[in-house]
Structure 1
Amino acid sequence: MIAVQNVPNPSSIPENAPEHCPGTESELAGRSDACNGCANQEICASNLPKGPDPALPFIRARMADVKRKVLVLSGKGGVGKSTFTAQLGWALAADDATQTGIMDVDICGPSIPTILGLTHEQIHSSASGWSPVYVQDNLCAMSVGFMLPSQRDAVMWRGPKKNGLISQFLKDVDWGVLDWLVIDTPPGTSDEHLSVVQYLKESGIDGAVLITTPQEVALQDVRREIDFCRKVGIRILGLVENMSGFVCPNCKTESKIFKPSSGGGKRLAEETNVEFLGSVPLDPRIGKSADYGVSFLEEFPDSPASQAYLDIIDRIKEVLGDTE
């Protein structure tokens, strides 16, 4: 007699899977003999729960009031992903009628509280769940950083505990009615990314924005990120190249700091058939704004970097059909 739980669901079998693949939702995912040598083996063998998760109906109910859900991804750290997430949130919330939320799932390196100027804030509970922390009336955020005794405390959690917290962020946080939920993720393709994909499987993810710098070492990691998105079925909205040049705050001239030895983000986008959303020059005031928790777009609207951010954000809206 065949054990039902070991019969793979065709929809759970990745493209180019080996013969007799047990499927990503099977208890044998990544562990059966058929998985040996498969490029997806490590991903499938992660600590994600197999089969229907009891949290999914609650997540689906909570996310029913969220119009757009967008992931911000990067292959490696230090490319400005969290900073871009914050600027995207501030730009969207510049319209008073637009309700925006930022969910920080970088569990081990939560930087969103600092970038948004919310370092000393804490999470509060109510009858409707955890309350997100508000930057302004129409911009809120949730991060593990709000749960730590101090900024110096390290988060040393294994996969299951990370997954559990992400589930809580989605089902227990009283997000209310949102036009946008922007999800800031850690570098790479690990437990946090897989958890978000799994938990939002029924609610839907509108797409992902990939962040890179011109250096080849960053582009190599973004190639893996593109492969990850395609394997798990996430729509790629486009690629953003950060730190494409240095802008002098005084004379406004731009010079190349990280020379694109292999063509940079634009060429990578062409090679991988991904839309190139634009380049953001390196303005030292971006880092200063992040340290002080203020909006770079509001503080320095005349910077070429501000205009680049706004052009990219407008294009993201166009791709999603959210232009007026």
Structure 2
Amino acid sequence: MNAVRQTTLADSVAFSGVGVHSGKPASVRISPAAADHGIVFHRSDSAQQVRACRGAVRGSDLATVLRDEAGPAVSTVEHLLACFAGLAIDNAHVEIDGPEVPILDGSAEAFAAAFDQVGIIETDRARRYLKVLKPVRVETENGFGELVPYDAGFRVEIEIDFAHEMIGRQRYAATLSPEVFRRDLAPARTFGFVSDVERLWQAGYALGASLENTICLDDTGIMNTDGLRYADEFVRHKALDAVGDLALGGLPMMARYRSYRGGHKLNFAVVDALLSDRSAYELVEAHVPARRPLRGHAGFGIAVAVPAYAPEL
């Protein structure tokens, strides 16, 4: 079952914190937007705006970085994008005062709670979907990512495998819905290893990481005194990242995404491979019954193939 109408927020919300990589203070304000606006980022120190889509991606190593041809970059957008996708929010304007979205507690829980508090409203415009028609697979030396057809919405099947005894091999699988996202994925925090800290600092990353926003692991175990939120929080966070990264397809997907030992770079490589093969997908638009928009939730129905065009396709 898929949402029929496009949605947006009922009111604006704002967040302040620190950038996990830059270590600098960061504030962001997220406002409602009209139908077909999409998710658009705007740096307050520039007139340029950048839409969250495949063509705007300028980096995907340890975080997702967006930038248009002329404007400044916006980094670490994946948790926010995951929340938009997970709660089926199609349109929003994101104004940010610096180069990085604040990391908050390392999860998407605060974003989800704020969006639920102000409410999500429908527009009168039909929702469009990117429907995968055939398998698209990208392999790395140690893993793979793959999109395959799936008509029941968007499903993630994520598997990780780390040598650390606190993680090991973990798997998470679910068909995404707002309820599943709130319960299973939004609270899952990012994680990192103390053994990598010096290398990351030298490369200009993780300058704002701390026990308040990252699950930190040393050779003996987890350093955070409050422990884990889930026994398998590590793979759930990887699933959260995947939801955000695949949102860069520009439209909600009707597909099943499988990955083994993946990350931002692999997730985006799969999006890029899909959109590079016009025979691998089609654009479908939901049939909208004639009725007034409802506040607070999205309607559901069957998406059918019609002439529909994503912004950059």
In the superposition, the TM-score normalised over structure 2's length comes to 0.25
Question: Which structure: greater helix fraction?
Answer: 1
Structure number with bigger Rg: 1
In the superposition, the TM-score normalised over structure 1's length comes to 0.24
Structure with more contact order per residue of length (Cα contacts < 8 Å, sep ≥ 6): 2
